[in-house]
Structure 1
Amino acid sequence: MRKLLLTSLLAIALPLSAVADNDDDDGRFGLAGVLSGKNKEDLEPIQLSAGMPLTSAPWVLKSGTYYEFEIQGDGSQELALVGPEFFRAIWIDEIVVEGLEIRPLGLDSVEFDEAGEMEIGFLAIKPGAYYLKIPGSTGETQRLEITIK
């Protein structure tokens, strides 16, 4: 019985030790999936300026892809961007303002009281049609249409 038990333990231990010896430090493996540099795209910046279009074209995003974009406010007016449905359809990795990194659990809107810039990194998750817009505005140039496929 002992011999059978010892043989069984060796049969299990040998493959496990072979796996343990397979070290990933040799550079053959890189970051996978969401963390891969191949999975990241930069989007056109959003321009917050009184009476100017937010962007030149709508955004078409792919679920599962990591995106980064900048919001640039010129200080011509106190302006905000709202888009709660969009912010709930993505996972926000970080918001960077003047070198300070913020990692929020969620977001409803952002506001610029003066000139400045922020960068937002996020993962598109839930497919659908969304928007970001300047609150209280009715012009179509003050609204960014976003589609997540």
Structure 2
Amino acid sequence: MRKFITMLAIAATLPMAAMADDDGDDDMQFGMAGLLSAKNKHDLEPIQLSAGMPLTSEPWVLKSGSYYEFEILGDGSQELALVGPEFFRAIWIDEIVVEGLEIRPLGLDSIEFDEAGEMEIGFIALKPGSYYIKIPGSTGETQRLDITIE
């Protein structure tokens, strides 16, 4: 509980730190939505869930305090899941969108595609470190996405 409160306190101060600009340049200021403003949003390469195919073409390098969105595209070639509990605990998930339905979870451990479909996840990177998302039980490098939060 103490770690959670500490993370919330840090997240609350991030908009203030990002808005403080010593050289007078207004490019770094966020809008009324703070961390969720459009100026702070970045789209990531989609994750492809397909039997025997790489998840992405390259690792993700994220910046703490930035908002990101990515899609997971499952082609239905095989029932596939993604796990990455350490990564999901290092971010704050704003929403998960599945077929137009918006889900706002308190946390996430894994996801699974039983058939073809798409999912979009929006989140704020919080805790710097090295993480991964992978297909459970797999050992190949292409079945794992390495993620760094700076």
Cα distance in 2, alignment partners of residues 72 and 146 from structure 1: 18
Letter in 1 for 2:63: K
Match of 1:33 in 2: 34
TM-score, normalised with respect to structure 2? 0.79
Letter in 1 for 2:44: L
TM-score, normalised with respect to structure 1? 0.79
Cα distance in 2, alignment partners of residues 34 and 82 from structure 1: 26
Contact 2:31–2:39 at 8 Å: present in 1 too? no
How many residue pairs match? The answer is: 121
CA deviation map 1:37-72 (0-9, x unaligned): 110000000000000000000000000000000000
3-state DSSP class of the match of 1:121? strand
Match of 1:134 in 2: 135
3-state DSSP class of the match of 1:114? coil
Match of 2:49 in 1: 48
Between 1:30-39 and 1:111-120, the stretch displaced more is: 30-39
Match of 2:83 in 1: 82
1:1-149 pair list within 5 angstroms: 30-149=31-150
How far did residue 33 of structure 1 move? 2.9
How far did residue 116 of structure 1 move? 0.2
Larger of the two Rg values belongs to structure: 1
CA deviation map 1:79-125 (0-9, x unaligned): 00000000000000000000000000000000000000000000000
Cα distance in 1, alignment partners of residues 33 and 43 from structure 2: 19
Displaced runs of 4 or more, over 4 A: none
Cα distance in 2, alignment partners of residues 133 and 36 from structure 1: 30
Cα distance in 2, alignment partners of residues 71 and 49 from structure 1: 10
3-state DSSP class of the match of 1:38? helix
**What is the RMSD computed on CA atoms of the aligned residues?**
1.1
CA deviation map 1:13-32 (0-9, x unaligned): xxxxxxxxxxxxxxxx9325
3-state DSSP class of the match of 1:86? helix
Unaligned runs of 5+ in 2: 1-29
How far did residue 36 of structure 1 move? 1.8
